[in-house]
Structures are given as C-alpha cells and as structure tokens.
Structure 1
Amino acid sequence: MELLCCEVDPTRRALPDPNLLYDDRVLHNLLTIEERYLPQCSYFKCVQKDIQPFMRRMVATWMLEVCEEQKCEEEVFPLAMNYLDRFLAVVPTRKCHLQLLGAVCMFLASKLKETIPLTAEKLCIYTDNSIKTQELLEWELVVLGKLKWSLAAVTPHDFIEHILRKLPLPEDKLILIRKHAQTFIALCATDFNFAMYPPSMIATGSVGAAICGLQLDDGDRSLSGDSLTDFLAKITSTDVDCLKACQEQIESVLVSNLRQVRQQQQQSNPSKTVEELDQASTPTDVRDINL
C-alpha cells in the first residue's frame, strides 16, 4: 500500500543530478549553444505589423498566471516565452492569434518539462474557450515546423544551479537567492527588452540582483558591489559592463512592477497607507500576486 501511494503522487519531481551540476563541461556547453535559441531579430521592427510590445506583455502576463495556477515547473514559462519570441521573429502573426500562440507555446513547454503536462482542453478553458482544442493542436504542428522541432532551448534557469554552487554561502541562503532569482527571470520573460539577451546574462544578473536586494553578503567583500559583479561575470564568462547594465535593468523592471502593484492595491484598498503597501515590496510577493 505504501508503494502504491508513492507511485501515484502527482507532484513528484526529478531530483537534480549532481554529476551534471558539478561538471564544468556542462556549463561550458550551455554557454556555447545558448545563442542558437535567441530570436533572430527584434521582430516588432521588421516582422510584426499587427502586434505591439504591450500585447506581448499582456499575453506573457496571462501565461505566467496560468503556469503559476497550475504549479508548473519553473522552467515552463521562460521556455514557452522563448518559443513565442522565436516564432514571432519569423512569422507575421495577427493579434487575434496571439493568445492561441501563447497557449500552444505553454502546451509544448509543459510537454518537455512537466511530469504531467498541461492538456489542450485545460488550456482552452483558460482562454475562456475562445479557441478550440482542434485549433490548438493544428497550431502546435505549425509552431513545431517554424521552430524546426528545436525545443530543448537554453533558458536562464539552466544556469541558476551552476552559478549558485559557486557562491560561498550556506544552503539556507542559497534557497532564498534561488527563489528570488527565479522571480527575476519570470519578470524578464514578460519584458521584451530582455528577449535578445543571452540566457546566461539574465541568469547571472538575476542572481546578482537577488543577492544585492536581500543583502546576503555576510560581510564578505567578494559578494558586494563591483566585487560581486566581477565574481559572477567570471562564472558565466560575461562582460562585466554588460552584466552590470543588465542587473540594473532587472532592478529597474522590479521597481516599475512594484509601482504598478502599489497603484493597483491603492485603487482596490484606498484605506491602506503607502507604508503598509510597501511591506509587500519583495520579489517573492510580486510573484505571488501574479503580475
């Protein structure tokens, strides 16, 4: 009976493989191939005529909410956004098909990363049944063809564990950094300004922003200011100035999102003071309220 109970546990996840995490050849290979999976161009300038950046942000926010509500693996949402950006970089798409494309990208990403993938029927429900199951399945083949069936894309999440294992911090603090870095990665995925950034830079900048925001240097000068940036840049062979600019941009996106959240909260709870609303100003809280 105990064996049966364990086998049917729907939330069971695969554990990290230390043979992969502690082999620098894996990190090197990820850095070598990551640019293969970037969008070919800034598609709002040269490909898309009917879709605007704010529309991408809206569908990305919806996709994030679906992934969070369904408790998907952290990799699913950034991977789905990678598919969406790569498709939009090569195929002019009507705005009425954007949510359908987002649903298809989540469908494919969950198949690749989830133990129990999202179903076509469930995704159609999340669109208020504005699309039909058959339509989603037909578009799945279209997207696969345009992506040339190259679905194992490198995302920022692939670098997180490789970066964290090199930090001179105890496990409890690494857990906190990981959680906040994952939040930053999700925020970056919703913002088109990061679509052309290498995943390693987004991951490194997210870890740096998490450490600075949480103030976890413990008096270690190597984990503060420019020393931290230099330390992280060496791990992923990233240009120091580019990494610093990326981290500043990530922090700016967080501030902008927090400002929007406070405005929304003030509109819905006008009796609360700014100080009370500011108490929720952490990356984890931003993620929990489904930006």
Structure 2
Amino acid sequence: MHKEQESRCQPKVLGLRPTESVHDNGLRTTARLRDFEVKDLGVTQVFGFDMEKFSLAVNLLDRFLSKMKVQPKHPGAVGLSCFYLAVKSTEEERNVPLANDLNQISQYRFTVSDLMRMEKILLEKVCWKVKATTAFQFLQLYYSLIQENLPFERRNSLNFERLEAQLKACHCRITFSKAKPSLFWH
C-alpha cells in the first residue's frame, strides 16, 4: 500500500532542480534556504509533535517547492504552513495549535492571515493531497520487520531514536528529497 501511494505524493525531481542550481540571487528560494527552512521545522518539537509530523511537513515543503518559485522572504511562511497542514491532517482537532501560537513561535515574522493565505496556496499546489507516504513511515515499517526477525537478545542493539535522528539529518538536505522514501532504507 505504501509503495503504491509513494509515487503520487513525491516532489517532482525536475521541479527541484532549479532550486538546487540557483545561487543566492535574492529572487527565489535556493537549496541552502530550503535546507535552513527544514531545520527550522524543528518547531514540531516545541509543540511536542513527533517525527511523523516533521517528515510530512518536509514532504509538503518539497512538493510545493518542486512546483513553485518562492521568493526568499517567503520560505518561513511556507514552512510553517507545511507544518500546520501536517499537524492538522494527522492530529485530533483539540491537539492542533492555534495559528496565533504558531505566529508567536515564528516571532511574528508574518501575520495569521499570511499563514492562512499561504496554507490555501499550498493546498492548491499539492492538489489538496496533504497525506503522503513518508520516509518515516518506511523507517517504522522496516524497523518493526527487523525487530521481528532479530533474536530476542539482539533486539535492543538497534536504536530507533538514533535512526530517527539520522533520518531528520537526511531531511535537512535537499539531495535526499529526490529519493523515494522507500529507498532510504535499502
């Protein structure tokens, strides 16, 4: 099931190439700005959200960047909107932070209406398909399969938190955005 959905919700590799090749000319987001924005998505931890939300937010960001040229002054609003959509699509409503709280965390770099406007643009560009198969889901799947097949005395030798940290580091590099999530763990 995951492999079938995987291709439908991946960033377009050809769309990411201009982001990678552009130098910091002030006209659109570069790979460096994208990677910085992904690191900035660490806001997920401020609200107590797990790697699943982070991974989905990165997926949304890359899908958006593969379709849109984004001016360097906007990646923060795009990134925060991606995070907000990831949380809204995976959490119960009572656990979703208020837009005002997100605005405060962003140190008021943009208004709540900016965030909502960006969220609408983002939804349109990802064709309202927020949920996606992510590398984190494959990590969970592969980890459980490995755990089932390891002898009982060796099961603690593979540390899931360490694997999560390594995945997070991979997400912080645009190079890995071009790979299908299932390939991360081959």
Q: Shorter chain as normaliser: what TM range?
A: 0.7 to 0.9
What does residue 102 of structure 1 align with? 79
What does residue 45 of structure 1 align with? 17
Q: Conserved in 2, the CA contact under 8 Å of 1:73 and 1:114?
A: no
Following the alignment from structure 1 to structure 2, what is the Cα–Cα distance between the partners of residues 39 and 175? 34
Percent identity, aligned pairs only, is 22
Following the alignment from structure 2 to structure 1, what is the Cα–Cα distance between the partners of residues 157 and 112? 39
Name which of 120, 125, 136 aligns with 1:141. Answer: 120
User: Where do 4+ consecutive residues of structure 1 move more than 3 Å?
Assistant: 42-49, 170-176
Q: Conserved in 1, the CA contact under 8 Å of 2:5 and 2:132?
A: no
User: Alpha-carbon deviations, 1:83-105, whole Å to 9, x = none?
Assistant: 11111111111110110000100
Deviation of the 1:160 alpha carbon: 2.6
Following the alignment from structure 1 to structure 2, what is the Cα–Cα distance between the partners of residues 110 and 174? 30
Give the TM-score normalised by the residue count of structure 1. Answer: 0.56
What does residue 178 of structure 2 align with? 196
**After the TM superposition, which residues 1-291 of structure 1 pair with which residues of structure 2 at under 5 Å, given as runs?**
29-46=1-18, 50-64=28-42, 66-115=43-92, 116-167=95-146, 168-169=149-150, 170=152, 173=155, 176-202=158-184, 204=185, 243=186
Structure 2: runs of 5 or more not aligned: none
Q: Which has the larger radius of gyration?
A: 1
Deviation of the 1:43 alpha carbon: 3.5
Query: C-alpha root-mean-square deviation of aligned residues, in Å?
Result: 2.1
The SS at the match of 2:131 is coil
User: Alpha-carbon deviations, 1:52-99, whole Å to 9, x = none?
Assistant: 1111111111112x1122210220111001111111111111110110
Following the alignment from structure 2 to structure 1, what is the Cα–Cα distance between the partners of residues 139 and 125? 29
The one-letter amino acid of 1:34's match is E
